[in-house]
A and B are shown apart, each in its own frame.
Chain A
Amino acid sequence: MSEFVLNVNGAPLHVNAPPQESLLFVLRNHLNLTGTKFGCGEGQCGACTVLINGRATRSCLIPASAVSNAKIVTIEGLDQNGKLTAVQQAFIDEEAMQCGYCTSGMILAATALLSKTPHPTDEQIVAAMNGNICRCGTYPRILAAIHRAAEARRGERAQLTGGAR
């Protein structure tokens, strides 16, 4: 066992876990952040996607002890004081899910995409999201949700900069 501190959703959290235990299972089983899902444990489905220093990352393949200096954001850390992010709201508005098990990973992957590419084309969305599996097959709705979130963020930015113009 080893002791280390993870910076998750802006808070330092103390962990005592085997050094090889994956970030996914440390989040889920040691820190009780179960919003991050186990889908395959092989980095192939994206259900376990979290943001590590802003990058969409598979938490199932990384030992937690290896990211003790990184900024980790999970699905539980997106909404602020009950206000959902544009991506979360867009997934609701498009009802971009059926069972919802892939949703956490999809939202974090989409969040990373939009922070790098604020107005992605269909092709850019497909390229960025192709590692995330939705077995219920809601890809077209997720695509629509990402476009909707991009529009909403454009609107927010326009509001913020509106006074300066």
Chain B
Amino acid sequence: MNDSEIAEFECFQDGSWGSSRLPDVHVDRRDFLKLLGGGLIVCLTPHSAGAQESGRGFGRHELPKDVAAWLHIAADGKVKVFTGKVEVGQNIRTSLAQQVAEELRVPFDSITMLMGDTEFVPWDMGTFGSRTTPTMGPQLRTMAAAAREALMAMAADRWHVDAAKLTAADSRVIDPAAGHSLTYGELTRGQNLVKVVSGKVPLTPATGWKIAGTPMPKVGIRDFVTGKHKFPSDIVRPGMLFGAVLRPEGFNATLDSIDTSAAEKMPGVKVVRDGDFIGAVAPDVYTAQQAVAAIQAKWTVPEQPSNANLFKVLKTATEPGGGRREGHLTGSVEQAMATADLKLEERYTVQYIAHTPLEPRAAVAEWNGSNLTVWTGTQRPFGVRDELMEAFNLPESRVRVIQPDMGSGYGGKHTGEAAIEAARLAKAAGKPIKLIWTRREEFTWAYFRPAGLMEIRAGVHRDGRLVAWEHHNYNSGPSALETPYEVPNQIIQYHPVKSPLRQGSYRALAATANNFARESHMDGLAHAAGMDPLEFRLKNLTNPRMRAVLQAAAGRFGWSNARSTPTRGYGIACGTDKGGYVATCAEVEIDPAARKIHIRRVVEAWESGAVVNPNGIRNQIAGAIVQSIGGALFEAILFSNGRILNPHFAQYRLPRFADAPQIDVVLLDRKDLPSAGAGEIGIIGLAPAVGNAIFAATGTRLCNMPMSPSAAVPGEPASPLKC
């Protein structure tokens, strides 16, 4: 290895992993280990036999195959941590580094997280489901704690003292009795040490945290305010050209005829055809897009559902018997409903909505012989690698996917379409290709948050106790389908459906839909029973965590003094999923003449166990509140016969500055509980809280999300309100 390559690796330390300054695209992992230089490598292998083992000379060995994560402590004390998780704006680059620094007893800024590069990080399923904090967090902490213990054992050996008498702080092992210390670098200098951890290692309890648990600012934030950070769409490779893809006129279309001759005549253009895939490359974006526009293609698009018959389709297209049917039956809902003093039955709907990450799907693909490297924005770098291996019939060793910290995803970037398309174009062009989806493509050829139909019927005893609860979800999913309330008789059922539109993950999945339905229904029951909605919930809740967030939100909001009027409504809702507990209070202003609503104030209480980074969580919760305004009030994909009718920001309204209410986040820090993820579930409280506030002010129950679209969604009753 020459000096220049080593110098390039040093670029890692600025935190901009995956930038165009990375070393040559195919580096053997063993060479990489050599490049790291001397020091200590610690690997975590959850499945390995034997408690702990260690060895020397990593330069000659591959890492264990089933390693979950690994870290390297260099002679200068710098720590590199390798994980397959990716940073998409949820701030785990910061919060994971905090946890490693905590257990390793090193300064926060000595940690560099290397993430989402399939060549160097351990395999990971992907970054979704709020799993990073509850799973990767403890794994990294275990690894870091084991590294600290190994270093202390090394110092004990050197000093001939009992390791139990030593302490570690600030990248040093200290012998308090003897009054001397050695830095981690001094302990490992000149050696290549490997330690494999597979057993349990005692972790520092949250009550003793000094770096974790603090509001650490986002790592590398300066590069975001100077434009230096390289997002996936910013990657530049030598000789790179730009691509564009011909899209069918609609979903499930068949190509009848095609004439590419005009496009082929354009200077600098190469038209690429590979089966059904048709695209063009050119030296600039404008020419590439002009070339695709010049291709004459005729398509036949079959008849397909539209918004107008969406819920009829969802109700009748259920997969009978087959498919996943999560749910349960407790007691007898029929009998309980027969004796209930108060009954309420209602139907709730949510429309398809788009993730619309501000950075569209993007990829830069580069072939080097039969080796393929793709820089792309994805929550699943290894999943995209699999897709590329399959598309090009390549072995794992020949495909590298690099995920630079990207312009968000919200569950929308699990798949590798742009990566495969860029790789196809690059293969045909013999040059690296950058492909950035247009906004229209992003709206049309990605996948959507599922639409859903929720049917609920419930019965209440005259004293306010729930006696029966039946909740069916068609299509949108089983997340947060279970009721957190105490009900002796329940039927809870998820009905999978063959969706008319392509659908997939979205922040919080179906928890938004199910919680909207359930919390709207709870509100309706409370009003029907003549009870305060908070009191009614508390009467039917025993879970102390749910009760705590409800009371915290209500207290900060001033719920007990909130009296709704026809022009100002106050609503409350709560919910839980994935270990996060949320309660939301909303104040809504209504202009009866203009039929307009505006969300003025939101208080949201949040609890997800021990807080790793209060700054990060507050940002996530406030952001989730703002983002959820769109789905609650105005976002809906309009579609008909395989075509998206509103694939532009001018036609698909998103929350903007003027929509943002005053937001107050009440953060409950349960240091006695394990940390859960906080990136998703903060989104599920707003819609029902707002719907309930509208009901309190107007007496009208809005059961369909979006609740106040600027124009009626076909198939839905027109809302009495608009935004």
Chain B interface (Cβ < 8 Å from any Cβ of A): 88-91, 217-218, 221-222, 224-231, 233-234, 236, 242, 284-287, 356-360, 405-408, 410, 436, 438-439, 615, 619-620, 622-627, 648-650, 654-658, 660, 662-663
Contact = CB atoms under 8 A, between A and B. Distances in A.
Interface residues on A, range: 35 or more
A21 interface: yes
5 contacts: A21-B284, A37-B358, A84-B226, A97-B218, A137-B627
A101 interface: yes
B285 A98 contact: no
A156 interface: no
A40 B236 contact: no
A17 B620 CA distance: 41
A20 B286 CA distance: 7
Nearest to A75: B227
3 closest A-B pairs (Cβ-Cβ)?
A: A35-B227, A99-B89, A137-B626
Nearest to A47: B358
Interface string A52-84: 000000000000000000000011101100001
Contact of B358 (A28, A36, A125, A135): A135
B354 to A, nearest CB: 11
Contact of B619 (A32, A39, A138): A138
A135 B410 contact: yes
B357 A143 contact: no
A30 interface: yes
A98 B91 contact: yes
B221 A92 contact: yes
Contact of B224 (A42, A45, A100, A132): A100
A34 B235 CA distance: 9
Contacts of B622: 137-138, 140-141
A79 B226 contact: yes
A25 B405 CA distance: 21
A78 B88 CA distance: 25
Contacts of B657: 125-126, 129-130, 132, 139, 142-143
A41 interface: yes
A139 B662 CA distance: 10
Given A45-B358, A95-B615, A137-B660, A88 B233 contact: no
Given A25-B286, A75-B226, A142-B657, 18 more contacts: A20-B286, A21-B286, A25-B284, A34-B233, A37-B231, A42-B648, A44-B649, A84-B225, A84-B226, A91-B225, A95-B615, A99-B406, A101-B406, A135-B358, A137-B625, A139-B626, A140-B660, A140-B663
A81 to B, nearest CB: 12
A44 B648 contact: yes
Contacts of B217: 92, 95
A124 to B, nearest CB: 11
Nearest to B222: A92
B472 to A, nearest CB: 31
Main secondary structure of the interface of A (DSSP, over half): loop
B625 to A, nearest CB: 7
Interface in A107-152: 107, 125-126, 129-143
Contacts of B88: 99
A44 B217 CA distance: 30
Contacts of B236: 32, 34
Contacts of A40: 439, 648-649
Contacts of A101: 89, 231, 357-359, 406-408
Contacts of A137: 622-627, 655, 660
Nearest to A77: B227
B218 A34 contact: no
Given A95-B619, A130-B656, A143-B657, A102 B230 contact: no
A107 B660 CA distance: 19
Contact of A133 (B218, B221, B649): B649
B227 A34 contact: yes
Given A137-B626, A138-B623, A143-B657, A39 B221 contact: no
A5 interface: no
Contact of A39 (B242, B359, B406): B359
A125 B88 CA distance: 27
Nearest to B217: A95
A43 to B, nearest CB: 9
B218 to A, nearest CB: 6
A41 B218 contact: no
A38 B360 contact: yes
Given A21-B286, A41-B438, A98 B229 contact: no
Nearest to A128: B657
A136 B230 contact: no
Contact of B225 (A29, A30, A92, A131): A92
A36 B233 CA distance: 11
Given A41-B438, A45-B358, A138-B619, A34 B91 contact: no
B22 to A, nearest CB: 16
A155 interface: no
A12 interface: no
B227 A36 contact: yes
Given A36-B227, A101-B408, A141 B221 contact: no
A132 B657 CA distance: 8
A135 B627 contact: yes
A36 B436 CA distance: 14
Contacts of B655: 137, 139
A88 B654 contact: no
Given A38-B233, A101-B407, A140-B660, A44 B225 contact: no
B436 A38 contact: yes
A98 B623 contact: yes
Given A25-B286, A136-B89, A99 B626 contact: no
Contacts of B408: 98-99, 101, 135-136
Given A34-B230, A137-B623, A97 B224 contact: yes
B649 A45 contact: yes
A75 B228 CA distance: 9
B379 to A, nearest CB: 12
Contacts of B438: 41
Contacts of B242: 29
B406 A18 contact: no
Given A34-B234, A40-B649, A139 B660 contact: yes
A25 B439 contact: no
Contacts of A28: 234
Nearest to A26: B284
Contacts of B439: 39-42
B600 to A, nearest CB: 13
A130 B356 CA distance: 17
Contacts of A29: 242, 284-285
Query: Which of B224, B436, B654: most chain A Cβ within 10 A?
Result: B224
B623 A95 contact: no
Contacts of A30: 284
A88 B225 CA distance: 6
